[in-house]
Amino acid sequence: MYNETIKQLMEHSCPSIKYRIKKEILEDDSGLDQLQHEILQDNRVQYALSWQNDDGYFGEVFHGGWIPREKRKYSTTGAESALRFLREMGFSVKNDFVKRGLDALLKEGWNKGGSKWNSYIPEIGLHGQDYIRSVVFAYFGIEDHGFIKTEIERAMEVFIRSENIHDFDDITGVYKNKRFYKSAVVLPEIYHLRLLAYTNGWRNEESLGRIKECIEHLINLSPIPDIYIKYKSQLIAPAMLYPRNLSKKLSDFTDRDWFCWFHTFELFARLGVVKDIPQLLRQLDEFKTILRQGEGFFRIKPDDYGFKKWSAYTGLALEKDWKNERWMYDLTFRSLLILKYAGEL
């Protein structure tokens, strides 16, 4: 069934989907140069590349930016968003734009656009600037810098400590009618999950076993409430894991549930934990049923904002638009990625 699905996508989808199917799913390097040339013609790609400055740095800040441009007062152009988008579109570390962009993040003063996020105060939920920078390098398969190794160790520690959470009231207080972390135990964030999902050096039987236990514990704690970081008198929204309810049945999803699920479940699949955690295996089985009913295609059209607006947190759509049911190509490609990394292809 999926052979026919792949054939249809290779005939009709956008160059980025074709490229990534060949590279990641079929593991076939033939014809990639022509596809890369076609990817460069995408106006979103050209827009992101236009952010690059003479010193290689993308945009005005590190953490920010929308593709396509979001016309809001606070909107800026940002290196993290540009590099995440380019990686998803099919750019590798060998690309000169990417290489220069990553090199700029190794220079002094790399984190343009200061914020409280830069502080390293883990006991209140501030993990410092390097844990986001490490994820950007991990997207491109780079994990040998010292700061990345440090952040991988810290990410594992955050996951492991989360097993001490049994009641959210034990780790939170209330300030201005919002929960905030009041203890040294905090929940893992999406950047911690991304970092582990895109790196391999930490993986051994013991470490993978611990991470599986931690993720299963988080699922059992679901639904997870909104918990803020309290820095002095300021409340800061952390990059929490979504969806809030990690064990929700797919049959109960609304169209707004799908973006968070696709994004996070792909990370679980990349970690290689799906088949060893009962709740995730159940979701995988539900997902395969949906694909079988669609004859190998994902045919449920979700709310598209999260998929089509690219930023540090949103964006999965490689197709330029979703007219004429092209949304189905994007969601089916993402489905194949999940099956591939979950060991089903």
pLDDT in tens, 329-339: 999 999 999 99
| pLDDT for res 119 | 87
Residues 199 and 261 in one domain: no
Look at residue 69 in the predicted model and tell me its pLDDT.
Answer: 82
Does residue 307 form part of some domain? yes
| In a shared domain, residues 253 and 321 | yes
How many of the other CB atoms lie within 10 Å of CB of 71? Answer: 7
Q: Is there a single domain that holds both residue 156 and residue 255?
A: no
**Domain hosting residue 153, numbered range:** 115-241
Q: Which residues pair with 225 in a beta bridge?
A: none
* 222, 245 Cβ separation under 8 angstroms: yes
Report how many helices (DSSP H) and strands (DSSP E) the chain contains, helices first. 15, 6
Say if 328 falls within a structural domain: yes
Tokens of residue 184, six digits: 């040294």
Is there a single domain that holds both residue 91 and residue 69? yes
pTM for the model? 0.96
Q: Are residues 9 and 106 in the same domain?
A: no
Task: Decide which of 56, 87, 114 is a domain's last residue.
Answer: 114
Q: Tell me: do 119 and 237 sit in the same domain.
A: yes
Q: 34-71, pLDDT tens digit by residue?
A: 999 999 999 999 999 999 999 999 999 999 889 988 77
The residues, any chain, with a CB within 8 Å of residue 17's CB and separated by 6 or more, are: 9, 318, 319, 329, 330, 333
Residues of the chain with pLDDT under 50: none
Boundary (domain end) residue, out of 241, 259, 285: 241
Rounded CA-CA distance 102/140 in Å is 10
Q: What is the CA radius of gyration of the chain?
A: 20
Residue 161: CB partners within 8 Å, gap ≥ 6? Answer: 184, 185, 186
Domain count, the chain: 3
Residue 264 inside a domain? The answer is yes
Beta pairing class for 229-231 and 234-236: antiparallel
Alpha-carbon distances of 142 from 136, 159, 170, 195, rounded to whole Å: 9, 22, 38, 11
Cβ-Cβ contacts under 8 Å for 196 (sequence gap 6 or more): 152, 155, 156, 159, 202, 211, 271
Domain-embedded: residue 293? yes
| Whether residues 192 and 249 fall in one domain | no
- The residue out of 114, 138, 157 marking a domain boundary is 114
Same domain, yes or no, for 233 and 122? yes
Q: Say if residue 94 is in the same domain as residue 185.
A: no
Instruction: Evaluate whether residue 32 is within a structural domain.
Output: no
- Identify whether residues 67 and 88 lie together within a single domain: yes
Residues 231 and 130 in one domain: yes
Evaluate whether 132 touches 63 at the Cβ level (below 8 Å): yes
- Do 107 and 76 meet the contact criterion of CB atoms below 8 Å apart? no
Partners of residue 232 on adjacent β-strands: none
pLDDT at 305: 84
pLDDT score for 74 = 67
Statement to judge: residues 281 and 325 lie in one domain: yes
